[in-house]
């Protein structure tokens, strides 16, 4: 159990005095982020935002008659994933068999690998799990070559069983079948193999070239989603299951997914696979998600914050914070300063304009930061931030630490 694990030097940011203490004993001391000697920098999760986002997305899907299979590559945390299952998630989505193995070992038995799998030993293990009835793992096929690899990989597996989504893609995009004529050819070949169960169709609209929330970009997204629906009509007669599954949905455009998938005439499981919503963020998703501009109860809230100290103020308008690329993701945006601890928490405005390995360069108003000050930053794109931290304090709105959340990347 995680509660019995000992806090150690391998858990960065944790108090020195807590090393060698079990997590449960540490939590019993009722620690606070700012008064219990946490070692900055440290990334934290706000419990109120996390719980709100999970419930908000679950309610949204339920209102449309959709299911959610959240993409847990975002956090790779069984603790967070269990909250999503408890809120009604149909399954969990992962990116590869390594992630599936970790989640399966953590007790989650219905998994979607949102990707092709071509590693023979991984495919064989999936076939064993499915064939035994102990679990249900679905993965993608988008080519005859991929199908052949799957068939060869299970040749010696007793009672082998593979669950498959046919993945659709777009020209210039990522993986997935572009041509529906190729889809028909692959379907005919799969139909000859009673070990392979076609479950439905899938795709990912978040990487469609030119897709965005402007008029032209929206039409490109909708065109791709209609491509998936057209594929579903072709695939449906080949489905081996109670009804076809139609799946897509990142965290930016799931509203368009819902609208287009609703146009499929037949009986279907319609499943969103959004992941980033769970912690949301302060920049990237905040400025592009379907709930922008809605009321406080209907929007998502940023749950991740990165807290750091000012190491140096070498110029009047420059402060160096003690976090860097090893602590925060910067694939889309730099972290954004939002708070300062000055006796109490105060709004703070600065601009992080560069990160090196262990330093953040922050433009400031002269006199607004002193050496040793504690600064809180919002982040952009949670998928490249969780992976920097093995253990994250989960805090309430007073920054009391109510749990420690493990990640497994």
Q: Could you give the CA distance from residue 393 to residue 401 in angstroms, rounded to a whole number? A: 6
State which of 283, 316, 345 marks the end of a domain.
Answer: 283
Q: Is the pLDDT of residue 163 over 80?
A: yes
In a domain, 155, yes or no: yes
- What is the rounded CA–CA span in Å between residue 249 and residue 259? 11
Q: Strand 360-363 relative to strand 244-248: parallel, antiparallel, unpaired?
A: unpaired
Which domain covers residue 349, as residue numbers?
6-46+299-406
Q: Where are the alpha helices (DSSP H) in 133-236?
A: 144-153, 180-191, 215-235
Residue 250: CA count within 13 A, CB half-sphere: 20
In a domain, 292, yes or no: no
**Using CA atoms, how far apart are residues 118 and 137, in angstroms rounded to an integer?**
15
What does pLDDT average to over the chain?
Answer: 97
> Six-digit token pair at 99?
């992630």
The reply to whether 109 and 216 lie within a common domain is yes
pLDDT digits (tens, 9 = 90+) for 343-376: 899 999 999 999 999 999 999 999 999 999 999 9
Answer yes or no: do 61 and 36 share one domain.
Answer: no
CATH number, domain containing residue 391: 2.40.37.20
Query: Are residue 116 and residue 225 in the same domain, yes or no?
Result: yes
C-beta pairs of 22-26 under 8 Å, 24+ apart in sequence: 23/404, 26/404
How do beta strands 360-363 and 374-378 pair?
unpaired
pLDDT for 1: 52
Give the C-alpha separation, 9 to 21, whole Å: 11
262-295: burial string, b at 16+ Cβ within 10 Å, e else: eebeeebbbbbbbbbbbbbbbbbbbeebbbeeee
Task: Supply the pLDDT for residue 3.
Answer: 66
Give yes or no for a contact between 231 and 245, defined as CB atoms under 8 angstroms apart. no
Q: How far apart are CA 44 and CA 386, in angstroms?
A: 10
Handedness of CA 375, 381, 387, 393 (dihedral sign): positive
Q: Are residues 175 and 317 in the same domain?
A: no
**CB atoms inside a 10 Å sphere around CB 408:** 15
Among candidate residues 283, 308, 339, the one where a domain is terminated: 283
The mean pLDDT of 148-175, rounded to a whole number, is 97
The total number of structural domains that make up the chain: 2
Determine the Cα–Cα distance for residues 33 and 86; give it in Å rounded to an integer: 28
Inside any domain, residue 177: yes
How far apart, in whole angstroms, are the C-alpha atoms of residue 304 and residue 298? 19
Rounded to whole angstroms, the Cα distance separating 80 from 163 reads: 26
- Give the SS3 label for residue 149: helix
Asked if 337 and 397 sit in the same domain, the reply is yes
CATH number of the domain at 91, please. Answer: 3.20.20.10
Residue 210: helix, strand or coil by DSSP? Answer: coil
Q: What is the DSSP string of 15-63?
A: -GGGTT-BHHHHHHT--BTTTS---SSEEEEEHHHHHHHHHHHHHHHHH
Q: Clarify whether residues 58 and 189 are in a common domain.
A: yes
Mark whether 91 and 110 lie in a shared domain. yes
Q: What is the pLDDT of residues 127-139, one digit of tens each?
A: 999 999 999 999 9
Of the candidates 283, 309, 328, which is a domain's last residue?
283
Is residue 106 domain-resident? yes
pLDDT, one tens digit per residue, over 308-317 is: 999 999 999 9
As a whole number, mean pLDDT of residues 278-296 equals: 95
pLDDT digits (tens, 9 = 90+) for 335-344: 999 999 988 9
The pLDDT of 67-76, averaged and rounded, is 98
Contacts of 360 (CB under 8 A, 6+ apart): 308, 320, 321, 322, 323, 324, 328, 334, 335, 352, 354, 377
CB contact at 8 A, 68 and 85: no
| Residue 313 domain-assigned (yes or no) | yes
pLDDT digit string, tens, across residues 228-237: 999 999 999 9
């Amino acid at each position: 159990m995680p509660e019995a694990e000992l806090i150690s030097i391998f858990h960065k940011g944790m108090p020195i005095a807590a090393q060698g203490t079990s997590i449960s004993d540490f939590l019993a001391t009722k620690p606070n982020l700012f008064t219990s000697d946490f070692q900055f920098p440290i990334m934290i999760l706000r419990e109120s935002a996390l719980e709100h986002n999970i419930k908000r997305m679950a309610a949204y899907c339920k209102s449309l008659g959709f299911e959610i299979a959240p993409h847990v590559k975002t956090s790779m945390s069984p603790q967070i994933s269990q909250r999503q299952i408890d809120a009604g998630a149909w399954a969990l989505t992962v990116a590869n068999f390594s992630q599936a193995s970790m989640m399966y070992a953590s007790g989650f038995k219905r998994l979607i690998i949102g990707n092709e799998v071509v590693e023979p030993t991984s495919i064989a293990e999936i076939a064993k799990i499915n064939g035994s009835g102990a679990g249900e793992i679905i993965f993608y096929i988008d080519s005859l070559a991929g199908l052949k690899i799957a068939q060869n990989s299970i040749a010696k597996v007793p009672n082998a069983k593979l669950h498959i989504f046919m993945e659709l893609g777009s020209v210039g995009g990522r993986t997935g079948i572009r041509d529906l004529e190729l889809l028909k050819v692959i379907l005919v070949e799969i139909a000859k193999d009673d070990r392979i169960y076609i479950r439905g169709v899938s795709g990912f609209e978040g990487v469609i070239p030119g897709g965005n929330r402007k008029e032209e970009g929206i039409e490109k997204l909708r065109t791709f989603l209609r491509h998936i629906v057209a594929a579903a009509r072709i695939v449906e007669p080949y489905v081996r299951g109670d009804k076809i599954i139609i799946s897509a949905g990142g965290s930016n455009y799931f509203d368009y997914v819902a609208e287009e998938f609703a146009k499929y005439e037949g009986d279907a499981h319609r499943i969103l696979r959004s992941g980033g919503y769970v912690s949301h963020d302060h920049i990237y998703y905040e400025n592009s998600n379907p709930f922008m501009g809605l009321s406080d109860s209907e929007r998502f809230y940023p749950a991740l914050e990165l807290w750091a100290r000012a190491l140096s103020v070498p110029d009047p308008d420059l402060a160096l914070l003690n976090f860097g690329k090893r602590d925060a993701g910067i694939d889309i945006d730099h972290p954004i300063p939002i708070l300062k601890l000055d006796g109490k928490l105060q709004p703070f405005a600065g601009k992080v304009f560069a990160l090196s390995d262990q330093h953040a360069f922050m433009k400031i108003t002269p006199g607004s930061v002193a050496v040793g000050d504690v600064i809180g930053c919002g982040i952009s794109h949670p998928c490249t931030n969780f992976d920097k931290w093995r253990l994250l304090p989960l805090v309430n709105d007073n920054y009391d630490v109510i749990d420690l959340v493990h990640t497994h990347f």
